[in-house]
Structure 1
Amino acid sequence: MGPTLFEIARTLAFGRVAGTVKAAASFDALPVPHAADEQGRPLLLARTGSGVDRDLAGLARRQVPVVLTVDDHPPLPGSPSLGRVRVTGLPVRLDPVAGRAAAHAFARANPVADLLDVGVSAALYRVEVQQVRVRHQHTWHVLDNAGYAAGEPDPLHEDEQHLLADLAGHHAAEIGAYLRTRLAAAGTPVKRAVPMRLDRYGFTVATGAGVWHRVDFPAPVGDAGELSTLLHGVLFHGDL
């Protein structure tokens, strides 16, 4: 089944992947770290009095929208891309108290050192979302804002590259056999099955010649620990 478009958008906007921020009518990107709060609203971090702070303050004062754009970075050479997200909205400079509270949400995804100075010599801006667009499989989709806010970032995304590399380096035979068995049971017998993406719902599998298949878990996993428990029998006892 794989992640929904809402979940893809929330995963990319979360802050683990670097993005660009610019005024909606401008081509000039602002060099500003970003993350997102629990509702997916982008958070932008700037040193107080810096050029970025002045630019964002001016945009907030004039109510000029900004656009956060984040492109997926596939975890392995040849892995399919999740695509791109664009979140458009009005920037609001948070007061020191609200800024320090938002800094905790920021740190979950992007724990940069300047967060320690929020409310003193650094400021946080929150982007009040107006529109969310996702480019997935070469098609742009405009998302419902409420659905986007209710979505959740994928809990395995931060560790995806490491987990896939570990499977390829230490358990290639076992995971390959497991995936071939699962695909055969679903009516798709293949000679080769290589996991190329991993999310809370399962694997995206390469079977050759640019062909992708999904192998889903019995239930979504909540973190890497649950994934390890789920796959333990497959990797260490040959349970297919």
Structure 2
Amino acid sequence: MQPSHAEVARTLAAGHLPAVAHIACFPGPLPVRHVTDSHGRVLLLSPADGAFAAATRPQPGTDDTAMVLDITDVPPMAGSPALGRVWVSGWVTRIEGDELKRAVLDYADIDATGDLLDVGDSKVMHRMDVAEVRYERNEKLVDIDPDDFAEATPDPLRQIEFDLIADLADHHLDEMSAYVRRQLGKSFQPKNEPQVVRLDRYGFMVRLDDKLARLGFPRPVTDRHDLAHLLHPVLCHRCGH
């Protein structure tokens, strides 16, 4: 199994990667902080007197502003392949009144930044009504249904992917190498030690000399503890027997 395009897009747009906003009638992109909440709604946090708040102020006769949120993956390690890039398009509206408190709590569920305490004063929050999602990787562009994007869940290991890969490299290199070689069989044995370069709920990607191979888990994992349980027979091969 592999993550679907919608799952990768939700992982990239979750709120843990830098993003820029391309706003209608405004020259040039603007960096903006954001999260995508558990319902697939994009929330944007910015200074009340900043460029983003000014650029998204509705034109006379309208109550929203068209915008594209542009997010590019940052690989966890040198030599790790990138997951690609996602563009989320829609209309942005400033959140006010009773809805604002709920939006702050939803934002905090993803990113509990202290700046949320200033929302309503020096900080403002906007919501994007998603109309279009496009995902690009290796020069291939895929349109994702907004409903599929909203229903997908981001990968639970993405925020700790670097730590997990570093731990495998520092403390379990021999065990992982032996496991990968067993999985490959005698048909292909790399000259160099196999190196884990990406990790997600469905499995991991391994660099084999100048090639990449994906090895899947028996089932998707739910969190770090579940991953440790699943990998125990791999990292402690003799215990597994």
Structure-1-length-normalised TM-score: 0.90
Say which is worse superposed, 128-137 or 116-125, in terms of deviation: 116-125
* CA gap 1:27/1:171 in 2 versus in 1, 3 angstroms: farther
Q: Which residue of 1 aligns with 2:43?
A: 43
Instruction: Please state whether the residue corresponding to 1:198 is helix, strand or coil.
Output: strand
* CA gap 1:101/1:207 in 2 versus in 1, 3 angstroms: same
What amino acid is aligned across from residue 236 of structure 1 in structure 2?
C
Q: Which residue of 2 aligns with 1:64?
A: 65
Unmatched 5+ stretches in structure 2: none
Contact 1:46 1:122 in 2 (8 A): yes
Question: C-alpha separation between the residues in 2 aligned to 1:22 and 1:97?
Answer: 28
Question: C-alpha separation between the residues in 1 aligned to 2:230 and 2:141?
Answer: 34
Contact 1:45 1:124 in 2 (8 A): yes
Say which is worse superposed, 223-232 or 21-30, in terms of deviation: 21-30
Instruction: Please state whether the residue corresponding to 1:141 is helix, strand or coil.
Output: strand
Say which is worse superposed, 90-99 or 141-150, in terms of deviation: 90-99
Deviation at 1:93, TM superposition (A): 1.1
Contact 2:65 2:93 in 1 (8 A): no
Q: Which residue of 1 aligns with 2:188?
A: 189
Contact 2:157 2:201 in 1 (8 A): yes
Contact 2:18 2:31 in 1 (8 A): no
Instruction: Please state whether the residue corresponding to 1:190 is helix, strand or coil.
Output: coil
Q: Which residue of 2 aligns with 1:78?
A: 79
CA RMSD of aligned residues (A): 2.1
Deviation at 1:189, TM superposition (A): 3.3
What amino acid is aligned across from residue 138 of structure 1 in structure 2?
E
Contact 1:66 1:88 in 2 (8 A): yes
Say which is worse superposed, 59-68 or 163-172, in terms of deviation: 59-68
Question: C-alpha separation between the residues in 1 aligned to 2:76 and 2:32?
Answer: 24
Amino-acid identity (%): 37
Question: C-alpha separation between the residues in 2 aligned to 1:29 and 1:59?
Answer: 19
Unmatched 5+ stretches in structure 1: none
Say which is worse superposed, 59-68 or 142-151, in terms of deviation: 59-68
Question: C-alpha separation between the residues in 2 aligned to 1:12 and 1:188?
Answer: 35
Q: Which residue of 1 aligns with 2:177?
A: 176
Q: Which residue of 2 aligns with 1:213?
A: 213
Deviations, residues 7-49 of structure 1 (Å, cap 9, x unaligned): 0100000101111112145442223211111232221112334
What amino acid is aligned across from residue 40 of structure 2 in structure 1?
G
Q: Which residue of 2 aligns with 1:146?
A: 147
Q: Which residue of 2 aligns with 1:99?
A: 100
* CA gap 1:66/1:236 in 2 versus in 1, 3 angstroms: same
Question: C-alpha separation between the residues in 2 aligned to 1:188 and 1:90?
Answer: 53
Question: C-alpha separation between the residues in 1 aligned to 2:195 and 2:25?
Answer: 43
Question: C-alpha separation between the residues in 2 aligned to 1:202 and 1:188?
Answer: 21
